């Protein structure tokens, strides 16, 4: 059953590349990657996935723009979301990173790591007609660009009932096929240092804001980062200057200097608590918040999360970056990251995934659903 929430061209055999969900995981990943889907150009790959899911009678499929939500309704005691984005960063021409190719034990090409390998694992899981828990699959657009384009956000805003009844969520971002629990929050501020403008030949008539910014940098250098344990996982916080600007001319004492600071904070803190911590550190200066995205607790003490970790029998570590698991956390849904591919190779011109990781991720997820 397919419900369309936006106008789009219906998939046809002539217009839409065919995805064979019965193919092995490597072939399916290659087929997905070879359908170009740079952010804002996901319609073709969304059509292909929709066409592949449409014959599966155990799934109810809803389309919102170029995002698909497919749900089972088997009356299970638990419901789990399996989510992955279908867009990629732009392609390169030299070297060309599409079409995909095999190099030894690796599948090479744009999207193999971030994150069509994970999407392929989702699609293989979608073939399971009698999973051990009810499943909600989300294949979403616009993750690699500005948040307003994010398809998961669109579902939250337009049809939250499609996902907010879940007990647990798995985001199939690349983790080298180990479980990365939750994620850290990320906060960015401008710390503004005020001075007094003057002619550079007579600096005593002013106050140099760039020189005074040394006080901000000194506090940053002296700042002692913390490692905070949340649900049994260690999150390493970080506070860094990521930019500095000031001055208007070569002969003018600058009356303002702005230091941009990024704070990566553990998911034990709310967004407000993290901002207050930064403002306390830079007391005496104006602090302007540019963006603040809270992290997500892994919730590994919850039955659904524990069952997932136990069934996969793979290492579990903290997610040191920020991912869309935080969106699930905002909805009160514990979430983890798990997928094939080394995250250090995401967006790399030579993006590649070991075939063994595609296979092991598929095997582990299907074992959990058995």
- Helices 355-369 & 25-33 angle (0-180, nearest 10): 110
Query: DSSP per residue over 126-186, as a string?
Result: HT-SS-SSEEEEEEES--SS-GGG-HHHHHHHH-GGGTTT-SEEEE---STTSEEESB-EE
Alpha-carbon distance values, 277 to 44, 212, 263, 281, 282 (Å):
45, 22, 10, 6, 9
The Cα 176–Cα 330 span in angstroms is 26
The span from the first CA to the last CA of the chain, in angstroms, equals 24
Q: Which of 33, 47, 51 is nearest to 108 (CA)?
A: 33
The Cα 112–Cα 19 span in angstroms is 16
Give the β-pairing of 134-140 and 79-85.
Answer: parallel
Contacts of 71 (CB under 8 A, 6+ apart): 59, 60, 62, 134, 135, 136, 137, 162
Written as six digits, the tokens of 126 are 């979608």
Query: DSSP per residue over 223-242, as a string?
Result: ----EEEETTEEEE-EEEEE
Written as six digits, the tokens of 194 are 């005020």
Beta bridge partners of 366: none
Would you give the DSSP letter of residue 27?
Answer: H
Kindly report the length of the chain: 370
The catalytically annotated residue of 50, 114, 143, 237 is 143
Q: Which of 41, 1, 33 is nearest to 17 (CA)?
A: 33
The Cα 127–Cα 131 span in angstroms is 9
The Cα 291–Cα 87 span in angstroms is 23
Q: Quick check: is 283 catalytic?
A: no
3-state secondary structure of 275: helix
Q: Quick check: is 24 catalytic?
A: no
By annotation, the residues acting in catalysis are 87, 143
């Amino acid at each position: 059953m397919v419900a369309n929430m936006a106008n789009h061209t219906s998939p046809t055999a002539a217009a839409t590349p065919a995805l064979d969900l019965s193919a092995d995981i490597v072939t399916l990943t290659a087929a997905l990657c070879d359908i170009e889907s740079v952010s804002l150009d996901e319609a073709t790959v969304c059509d292909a996935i929709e066409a592949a899911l449409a014959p599966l009678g155990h799934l109810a499929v809803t389309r919102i723009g170029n995002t698909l939500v497919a749900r089972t309704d088997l009356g299970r005691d638990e419901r789990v979301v399996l989510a992955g984005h279908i867009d990629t960063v732009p392609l390169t021409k030299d070297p060309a990173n599409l079409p995909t190719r095999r190099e030894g034990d690796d599948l090479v090409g744009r999207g193999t790591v971030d994150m069509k390998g994970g999407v392929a694992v989702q699609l293989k899981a979608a073939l399971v007609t009698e999973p051990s828990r009810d499943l909600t699959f989300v294949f979403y657009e616009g993750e690699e660009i500005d948040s307003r384009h994010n398809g998961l956000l669109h579902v939250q805003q337009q049809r939250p009932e499609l996902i907010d009844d879940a007990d647990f969520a798995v985001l199939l971002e690349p983790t080298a096929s180990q479980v990365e629990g939750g994620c850290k929050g990320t906060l960015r501020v401008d710390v503004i240092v005020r001075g007094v403008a003057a002619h550079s030949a007579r600096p005593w008539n002013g106050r140099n804001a760039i020189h005074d910014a040394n006080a901000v940098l000194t506090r940053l250098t002296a700042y002692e980062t913390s490692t905070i344990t949340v649900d049994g996982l260690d999150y390493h916080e970080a506070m860094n200057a990521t930019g500095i600007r000031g001055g208007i001319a070569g002969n003018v004492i600058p009356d303002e200097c702005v230091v941009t600071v990024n704070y990566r904070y553990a998911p034990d803190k709310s967004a407000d608590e993290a901002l207050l911590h930064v403002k306390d550190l830079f007391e005496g200066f104006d602090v302007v918040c540019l963006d603040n995205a809270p992290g997500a607790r892994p919730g590994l003490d919850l039955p659904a999360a524990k069952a997932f970790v136990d069934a996969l029998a793979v290492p579990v570590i903290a997610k040191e970056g920020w991912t869309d698991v935080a969106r699930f956390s905002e909805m009160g849904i514990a979430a983890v990251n798990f997928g094939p591919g080394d995250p250090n190779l995401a967006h790399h011109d030579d993006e590649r995934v070991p075939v063994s990781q595609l296979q092991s991720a598929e095997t582990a997820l299907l074992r959990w659903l058995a």
